[in-house]
Amino acid sequence: MADAIVADYMVRDVISVEPQMKVREVTEKMINSNFHGFPIAERGYLLGFVTSKELLRFTDRPDATMREVMKRGTVCVVPSMKISDAIRVLFRYGIRNLPVVDE
């Protein structure tokens, strides 16, 4: 594991959502998936990340778009990063999901 990198462990079949999708649509998509969070992407660029916990905050606004409710930006890593460094990022920020972006 000393030489392991993020690319060795990352999920490659990622499901993302678009910023114009509504809270109810993303909630339904999450319920019907094995994921507890989705990257929010537009034209190949990562805009943010939405988790099931964050979606719960907007159950009273089912027609709001992800663009309206998402927090801009997210902590992310690159495939060549050491897995030990990525683990430190997860612990430091207290997050469960860590998007991987192109270098």
Q: pLDDT tens, 13-62?
A: 889 999 999 999 999 999 999 998 999 999 989 999 999 999 999 999 99
pLDDT mean across residues, the chain? 92
pLDDT digits (tens, 9 = 90+) for 59-102: 999 999 999 998 777 899 999 999 999 999 999 999 888 999 98
CB-facing half-sphere around the CA of 83: CA atoms within 13 A: 10
pLDDT of residue 96: 87
pLDDT at residue 2, as a whole number: 67
Which pLDDT belongs to residue 73? Answer: 75
- Cα dihedral value 97, 100, 35, 32, nearest 10: 150
pLDDT confidence of residue 42: 94
Residue 51 Ramachandran class (φ > 0 left, ψ -120 to 50 alpha, else beta): beta
